[in-house]
Structure 1
Amino acid sequence: MRRWRSAATALVAAVAACVAGCAAPAGSTGVAVRAHSAQEAGAAPSAPSAPSGTPGPSGPGTATPSVSASLSPSPSPKALGPGEGSLTVLAPRGYAEYGGYDPAVNWVKGFESESGCKVNLRYPPAPAEMDAMARRVPYDAIAAPPDVAGRLVAERRAAPINTSLLTHYDDIPEWLRELRPAAPGDGAEHEVYGVPYLWGWYATLTTGDVRGLDAASLYKEPGAVTLPDGPLSIADAALALRLTRPSLGVGDPFALTPDQLDAAVALLAERRAEHTYWEELIEPLQGLAGGAARLARTVPYQQDLLRRAGRKVRAVQDGETTGWVDNWMLAARPASPNCAYRWLDWIGGKDAQRQAAEWTGLAPANEKACTGRAARVCYAYRMTDTGWLKKVRFAVRPSRACGEDGGCTDYTEWVTRWRDLVAG
């Protein structure tokens, strides 16, 4: 029986097919990846025939989480008690694998065996529906991209985390731990609300000559360009404005004044007719491999995938770029807090993180996970290059409460402007 050992393996095969003559429909490998609204380019394998959750107990004695409207999150526990028997986890596909797509890809079973807590997985039906699902579906723990994480913190729908109960937390580099899942002023300054899990940053890849290209080339150069389909792609255009319109004074690309937001959207609109917007990782790969895209804004690991498939691609030197971190968070009042804490600890360990990185092609938060096939992933994201990582502007959900005086545009404005742009 043929088996994909990882999503990356499937993608290499798909790209090799594209080099020979790319005619397969997007997503035909069975591998889907969301474009974060920090999103960002993230990878998450799709299993169309897989069940939506791990089979688990739901009878008497099983705690049932609820969608909490409380403005008073539960206080952080001082110590853990006995597990409740089960927990509900909300995550993008590929972030918590139980063997439904490939029996060899399973880091949930080990947790269940060790903790005695059965995991009930819940996946959004489509990547863009993660935030909506988090509003209506009960859960204990959630793998939240920056746009979702920021809202949960601002609306007090996330519980602060006692990291002393997490044995692997100190294995996460300090710079990652110091990144907060919400914008300054949204309430996350003095508490820990998220445990970093998978992260990445954007690169601009081209099949042509990189001489003379820079961050603004995505929006100024003629030819087909593919960009991540999400409102936070506006931040990339804002970074480019530093080159094209320095008088605007863009600082944090995720904290834009109305004038700066107008200018970033106008830059995106200049060559709108030549732009396509990707939601699945296979799309920019097919575009670059098959010649449909001259430039692609995507994750750096794709350059490695394309090279392994025999396609020459080069990275444009952006100077600065945007990135994101997906965090594991707790519901404001989890029904199964003891199992939820055990899950956060397990998923931060090197073994689970290594498997997640190999499967998704995203960087693990735990540096000890950079072994085996995950070492190639870590290298692609320059995980130990602290000089480069200082140039990555990691996403937070845009908020009006920026700086000392506020006055920035919030995420709802970004969503509206992005929808109008893409629809136009």
Structure 2
Amino acid sequence: MALAAVATLAIGLAAACGDGGTADTATGTGQGGFTVPRLAAHRSLGAGEGRVNLVAWAGYAEDGSNDKTADWVHPFEKATGCKVATKVAGTSDEMVTLMRTGEYDAVSASGDASLRLIASGTVAPVNTSLVPNYADVFPGLKLKPWNSVNGVPYGIPHGRGANLLMWRSDKVRPAPDSWGAVFDANSPYKGRITAYDSPIYIADAALYLMSARPDLGIRNPYALDRRQFDAAVALLKTQRGLVGEYWSDYTKEVQAFKSGDSVLGTTWQVIANLAKAEKAPVKVTLPREGSTGWSDTWMVAAKAEHPNCAYRWLNWIVSPKANAQVAEWFGEAPANAKACRLTSDKRFCATFHATDETYFSKVHFWTTPIAQCLDGRTDVRCVDYSRWTQAWTTIKG
């Protein structure tokens, strides 16, 4: 099992979702008034170039080398003649840097990296008619603010997941149902609380403040004006005294909960599953305030050297069988609705809420904060992600 952490910097683009599908060209301005580079989507699928170079999260392009039962790369190579070369990235920032070298054809970008790639002209719109399996992708994943601009799709959704609250059921009582459990300055679990190690975690504090401090008027945890941002940072600085360890490596969080060094904090469903498999008495919940989460998108480089193989990969990785395999391996809800019939664990999609749009309506998916407020406000400026990264350094001390 392999996962990856996410960190990022700022961009100057606001993306808009809308109705529509395939478009050959995206241009003009996004929802927030930012210029979108004029780039054409691939028009037709030609012969494969024999190779495709990918930037991906660990676990997204498995070839059997980590586990012989996890291999959806070699079947792709056999079926298409496109040899896969994968560069595993550890952070969203690394993904953006790698894609800007021009050496890679496609990337599995999270929402906090995808907008930067669009704004810089590093990736092009996608022609969804060249990806037949796109038709079976859950509607709740299509044409979202992190993977489209003005109704033009910039990628093919891969999967999604929520950031959950996990606790040791033998140590933490009563069972928590609110993020307030990790932000309580008087917590009896001081030193054994854990939090996600990334500037994007500021959004988790903002999410909690949406209900805990309604006077702040936060409507979107990624759209924070100066007053709202300062309140979230202040909350996280208080929490710093409670945190025993910030995590980005999922294996370390599993071990921390297994040993009891951590008893309460943010997690992913797959981490909880692994901890339980190692006999750690843990439970998880989607707190009453909702949560943040991720939705990853396969995007094609604007100057891809192997565009035909890249499009074949996009179609393959969201095909029912391959999408079921990668979802189970990584630990997330698949993007293809038909994948749920092909998972080895027949309860997998229920566990990961794959078909539960009500559940995911409570999840605020990672989106890059920009100066143009993403909640539609025009009378104030919001704090962009470059300042989020600076603040995160001061929060951790």
The CA deviation at 1:127 is: 7.2
What residue in structure 1 maps to residue 391 of structure 2? 417
The CA deviation at 1:373 is: 3.1
Aligned residues of 1:322 and 1:392 also touching (Cα < 8 A): yes
Equivalent in 294, 298, 304 of residue 328 of structure 1: 298
Q: Which moved more, 1:376-385 or 1:288-297?
A: 376-385
Matched, 1:305 2:279: no
The CA deviation at 1:211 is: 4.4
What residue in structure 1 maps to residue 173 of structure 2? 209
Once the two structures are superposed, what CA deviation does each residue of 1:315-340 show, in whole Å capped at 9, x if it has no partner? 34512111111110011121121111
Aligned residues of 2:203 and 2:222 also touching (Cα < 8 A): yes
Matched, 1:112 2:77: yes
Q: Which moved more, 1:165-174 or 1:351-360?
A: 351-360
Aligned residues of 2:107 and 2:299 also touching (Cα < 8 A): yes
Aligned residues of 1:197 and 1:327 also touching (Cα < 8 A): yes
Aligned residues of 2:179 and 2:287 also touching (Cα < 8 A): yes
Matched, 1:280 2:254: no
Change (3 A) 1:189 1:244: same
- Partner secondary structure for residue 251 of structure 1: coil
Q: Distance in 2 between matches of 1:215 and 1:307?
A: 22
The CA deviation at 1:386 is: 2.1
Matched, 1:248 2:216: yes
- Partner secondary structure for residue 197 of structure 1: strand
Letter in 2 for 1:227: A
Letter in 1 for 2:163: Y
Matched, 1:395 2:356: no
Letter in 2 for 1:226: T
Q: Distance in 2 between matches of 1:389 and 1:125?
A: 25
Once the two structures are superposed, what CA deviation does each residue of 1:244-294 show, in whole Å capped at 9, x if it has no partner? 311001111111111111111111111313312111111222222211112
Q: Distance in 1 between matches of 2:227 and 2:90?
A: 36
The CA deviation at 1:344 is: 0.7
Aligned residues of 1:173 and 1:367 also touching (Cα < 8 A): yes
Q: Distance in 1 between matches of 2:94 and 2:42?
A: 31
Q: Distance in 2 between matches of 1:129 and 1:410?
A: 19
Q: What are the within-5 Å matches in structure 2 for residues 15-414 of structure 1? A: 32-37=2-7, 74-124=39-89, 129-136=94-101, 138-181=103-146, 188-207=149-168, 208-211=172-175, 213-220=177-184, 221-223=187-189, 224-275=192-243, 276-319=245-288, 320-370=290-340, 371-402=342-373, 403-405=376-378, 407-414=381-388
Report the TM-score, using the length of structure 1 for normalisation. Answer: 0.79
Once the two structures are superposed, what CA deviation does each residue of 1:43-99 show, in whole Å capped at 9, x if it has no partner? xxxxxxxxxxxxxxxxxxxxxxxxxxxx85641233211112212111122111112
Aligned residues of 1:97 and 1:107 also touching (Cα < 8 A): yes
Change (3 A) 1:233 1:155: same
Change (3 A) 1:145 1:205: same
Change (3 A) 1:38 1:310: farther
Letter in 2 for 1:245: R
Letter in 2 for 1:131: V
Letter in 2 for 1:337: P
The CA deviation at 1:297 is: 0.3
Letter in 1 for 2:313: W
Q: Which moved more, 1:277-286 or 1:129-138?
A: 129-138
Letter in 2 for 1:333: K
Change (3 A) 1:127 1:210: farther
Once the two structures are superposed, what CA deviation does each residue of 1:102-148 show, in whole Å capped at 9, x if it has no partner? 23321111111111212222223677633333333511111112221
- Partner secondary structure for residue 364 of structure 2: strand
Instruction: Structure 1: state its 5+ residue gaps.
Output: 1-6, 8-31, 40-70
Change (3 A) 1:38 1:411: closer
Q: What's the RMSD between the two structures over aligned residues?
A: 2.3
- Share of identical aligned residues, percent? 36
Q: Distance in 1 between matches of 2:321 and 2:199?
A: 33
Letter in 2 for 1:384: T
Letter in 1 for 2:385: Y
Change (3 A) 1:266 1:87: same
Q: Distance in 1 between matches of 2:200 and 2:91?
A: 18
The CA deviation at 1:210 is: 3.8
The CA deviation at 1:356 is: 0.8
Letter in 1 for 2:75: G
Change (3 A) 1:334 1:144: same
Instruction: Structure 2: state its 5+ residue gaps.
Output: 10-35
Letter in 1 for 2:167: T
What residue in structure 2 maps to residue 45 of structure 1? none
Aligned residues of 1:350 and 1:369 also touching (Cα < 8 A): yes
What residue in structure 2 maps to residue 50 of structure 1? none
The CA deviation at 1:306 is: 3.3
Change (3 A) 1:329 1:212: closer
